[in-house]
């Protein structure tokens, strides 16, 4: 999916879904695939199905936040981001998504405080560099976003695979860096 081969990825999800249609992991991963494929309504449906069964699934909630942010529903994203952050405040992803949601909802002081915390505690080795790139891309700071992507590349961060297709990095896609 991250390579943009959405049809092939969809076929694989369908095959696995035939084997075990109730697999929560499949639903969770399908939800994220649909985010990256920009099928936001379908992604939201899948992720809400996961959260009905497992309300504290932090990854599914974060993917739901991504759906809401990417589809422009910033006000709806904020309580979901707060929920995820309250459940797992130590995770770079929960703090990063909350920082984005706060920023896009005009709560700049709260967003800036979270970004300051993250900037002081995240490095490329913590696998938070791509999240930090998303934070800065969504704030319109392309230079900081690319600096974090450079750090991720230097650290061989596996999350770089999502850069070409992730909607929260769209602001960077036309830049030749």
| Residue 57 backbone zone (phi > 0: left; psi -120 to 50: alpha; other: beta) | beta
Locate 170 and state its tokens: 């769209």
Supply the pLDDT for residue 82: 98
- Percent of the chain scoring above 70 in pLDDT: 85
The Cα–Cα gap between 109 and 103 comes to 8
Average confidence score pLDDT of the chain = 87
- Residues 19-65: tens digit of each pLDDT: 666 666 777 777 888 888 898 998 999 899 889 989 999 999 999 99
What confidence tier does 18 reach under pLDDT thresholds 50, 70, 90? low
Closest to 85 in 3D by CA, of 149, 40, 26, 131: 131
Is residue 146 within 8 A of residue 177, CB to CB? The reply is: yes
Supply the pLDDT for residue 168: 96
Mean pLDDT within 127-136: 92
- Residue 73's Cβ-count burial label (10 Å; 0-12, 13-18, 19+) is middle
- Residues 132-161: tens digit of each pLDDT: 999 999 999 999 999 999 999 998 888 888
Is residue 168 within 8 A of residue 70, CB to CB? The reply is: yes
Is residue 78 within 8 A of residue 86, CB to CB? The reply is: no
Whether the predicted pLDDT of 1 surpasses 60: no
DSSP string, 52-81: HH-TT-HHHHHHHHHHHHHTT-HHHHHHHH
């Amino acid at each position: 999916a991250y390579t943009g081969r959405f049809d092939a990825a969809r076929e694989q999800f369908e095959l696995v879904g035939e084997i075990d249609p109730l697999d929560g992991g499949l639903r969770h991963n399908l939800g994220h695939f649909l985010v990256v494929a920009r099928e936001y309504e379908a992604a939201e449906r899948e992720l809400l199905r996961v959260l009905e069964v497992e309300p504290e699934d932090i990854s599914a909630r974060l993917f739901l936040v991504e759906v809401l942010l990417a589809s422009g529903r910033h006000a709806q994203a904020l309580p979901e981001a707060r929920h995820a952050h309250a459940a797992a405040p130590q995770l770079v992803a929960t703090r990063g998504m909350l920082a984005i949601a706060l920023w896009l909802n005009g709560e700049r002081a709260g967003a800036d405080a979270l970004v300051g915390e993250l900037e002081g505690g995240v490095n490329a080795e913590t696998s938070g560099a791509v999240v930090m790139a998303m934070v800065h891309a969504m704030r319109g700071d392309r230079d900081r976003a690319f600096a974090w992507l450079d750090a991720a590349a230097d650290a061989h961060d596996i999350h770089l695979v999502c850069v070409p297709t992730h909607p929260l990095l769209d602001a960077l896609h036309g830049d030749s860096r």
